[in-house]
Chains A and B, each alone.
Chain A
């Protein structure tokens, strides 16, 4: 196959999609390449984070977990920042990015992807309207505060907030109570939709009958479980960072021995300990399902098992068993289970959990293309690092980093309009 690669790279202006980062071993069909690359790894990872963040915010709005009050605002606004990012990897991956909107024009409903536009926009509408109800009173307050101020920035913000109120200036107790009720209803509807958004990402893979690794009815459930795991982990991590920041700013202001510092630290550990129990539960569910899938494949040993085994236990052993199961699952599991939990230990456990979920996505998407449909050959993926064309940028390390960084940039701007960290 090496000769092929050399010759084909000679005519590189005719870039064959996938050729750049695929090397082949033994017998593969001529047209087989790693067509779904890093951006398709990012897609379920980012959707999982969106779903998880939203579910966490709903815990407060629906079930009234008071200790999550500040967290809930943050995770709601953060899930809005994550929202466009769930679509970004798909846009980056499409060969015809400008035609992406065709999915909305002519959805072909026998396809699992066709529903994406509908599920995604339903979810977007719910998140946006929930944020509107949460912040409506704040918008009205801002309009009243900024009224009559002269500065250019104040004028812009004034008109922006007027638009954002959508003409609803009523802040009577009755109206505010209605807002709260609306938030509760929207958050409750949002939970199943968030799970659906993600479970359906699992269905996209699980329903590909041609792919021996992907095809499994467990796939959507595994995806939902790991999505909740990663979403909770990210929100806990961010919560720790915010609380530590608060604690340190209090220490600087009031001194280390101050009563409020101890209170903050105590409250932080309490919330983290409680939330980590949920995390552990979902982690156990996710690992159990994944192992069930693996054991079942080994026991039934269908035609594809020979090649799957050689990929899992051979070529991808480090990625699957060391990085995903051991470092990403087992290590944080033990870290969270050992009594005497400290914030520092949780912090590192959460980073491992997030890494483990990322590796799970990687092993599904890339691992699923590591073997040929002929079951007689292998394909290896080489992530493009230094981009030298649009394609190697979009579907390379920098493209993935762009996707990963975007929610934080978006959050910075959205947070200017709807402050989710300071506003009480």
Chain B
């Protein structure tokens, strides 16, 4: 069989042309795009933390660990409560042992007794994934194993995550960690399995003081949306440009 250079080029051109049309009927989708078709576009889940109401009991952390099967004893956690104690001399003490799981009943911080009469103010701040509008973790995942649903929640595909830890490095809030059993990136999901069925998240359900609330920002009649719209709220670390969607009432300048 002989094939001249001219024939080769001719046939290659023909074959390319002939295959272009049928191939163009297909659309290439990134894994993130495929996964992102999960969820309801008419919903935008947001969270509201009222730090004025939080007493640091730690029930939210306990509930989260149980609900989401995050091993109880290791110090990793999807949500946590921080204690801030600010002294009259300007010194600050911050802690969150075991994510505040066992509640704050101790008067010492980092093994230092804090004299009560020296305290200027003290408060608790609970943290959970901010389900950012522009999530840095989703941007950096090299395989598209972490993705944002249409209703705004960032999830991890445990079957596809390679465990490189880039998302953990990229999150300015330190929300992510490696799950000790599944060996993949793990994070708060706003209890996605619950909220899509109309239930509350485990932490919201278990907060005795309504310091934690979840709502739908796209519903103007949602009580959480009303608070976010009408009251003075703030977010954590907006300088990173990730547009966090967990809103706080009563944040202090010392909050990290």
Contacts and interface: CB of A to CB of B under 8 A. Distances in A.
Interface string A109-128: 11111101000000000000
Interface residues of A, number: 55
B140 A112 contact: yes
B253 to A, nearest CB: 12
Contact of A14 (B74, B168, B171): B74
Contact of A106 (B30, B168, B174): B30
Contact of A107 (B97, B143, B173): B143
A26 B240 contact: no
Contact of A8 (B75, B145, B171): B75
Interface stretch (A47-55, A95-103, A153-161, A193-201): A95-103
Interface in B82-133: 82, 92, 94-99, 110, 127
B240 A113 contact: no
A30 B75 contact: yes
Interface in A165-208: 204, 207-208
Contacts of B173: 29, 373
A386 interface: no
Nearest to A117: B142
Interface string B31-72: 110000000000000000000000000000000000000010
Contacts of A30: 75-77, 80, 96, 98-99, 174
A375 interface: yes
Given A14-B73, A106-B31, A116-B142, A35 B165 contact: yes
Contact of A111 (B71, B75, B80, B141): B141
Interface string B206-242: 0000000000000000000000000000000001110
A108 B30 contact: yes
A8 B251 CA distance: 31
Contacts of A35: 165, 168-169, 178
A144 interface: no
A114 B160 contact: no
Interface in B144-169: 144-145, 160-166, 168-169
B77 A31 contact: yes
Contacts, number: 164
Interface string A22-35: 00001111111101
A96 B165 CA distance: 11
A15 interface: yes
Contacts of B160: 99, 102, 106
Contacts of A208: 140, 169-170
Given A30-B80, A95-B163, A113 B140 contact: yes
B193 interface: no
Most buried by A among B92, B110, B240: B110
Interface residues of B, number: 55
B194 interface: no
Contacts of B241: 209
Given A102-B162, A116-B142, A15 B76 contact: no
A103 B31 CA distance: 11
A31 B164 contact: no
A85 B103 CA distance: 48
Given A26-B110, A108-B142, A211 B180 contact: no
B218 to A, nearest CB: 25
A14 B99 contact: no
A11 B74 contact: yes
Interface string A5-47: 0011011001111110000001111111101100000000000
A94 interface: yes
B164 A93 contact: yes
Interface string A302-333: 01000000000000000000000000000000
A4 interface: yes
B169 A36 contact: yes
B12 interface: no
A110 B181 CA distance: 28
Contacts of A114: 142-143
A16 B177 contact: yes
Contact of A96 (B73, B77, B98, B162): B162
Interface string A71-108: 00000000000000000001001111001101101111
A242 B196 CA distance: 68
B181 A102 contact: no
A276 B165 CA distance: 39
Contacts of B172: 209-210, 373
Given A15-B180, A96-B184, 11 more contacts: A4-B75, A29-B96, A94-B164, A99-B162, A106-B144, A108-B32, A112-B142, A210-B171, A211-B169, A373-B172, A373-B174
20 contacts: A8-B73, A10-B73, A11-B74, A14-B74, A16-B177, A30-B76, A31-B177, A32-B174, A35-B169, A93-B164, A95-B163, A95-B165, A99-B143, A107-B143, A111-B166, A112-B140, A208-B169, A210-B169, A210-B171, A374-B174
Nearest first, the 10 closest Cβ-Cβ pairs linking A and B are A95-B163, A29-B174, A113-B142, A108-B144, A374-B256, A210-B172, A31-B177, A27-B94, A17-B178, A14-B180
Interface of B: 30-32, 71, 73-77, 80, 82, 92, 94-99, 110, 127, 136, 138-145, 160-166, 168-178, 180-181, 183-184, 239-241, 256
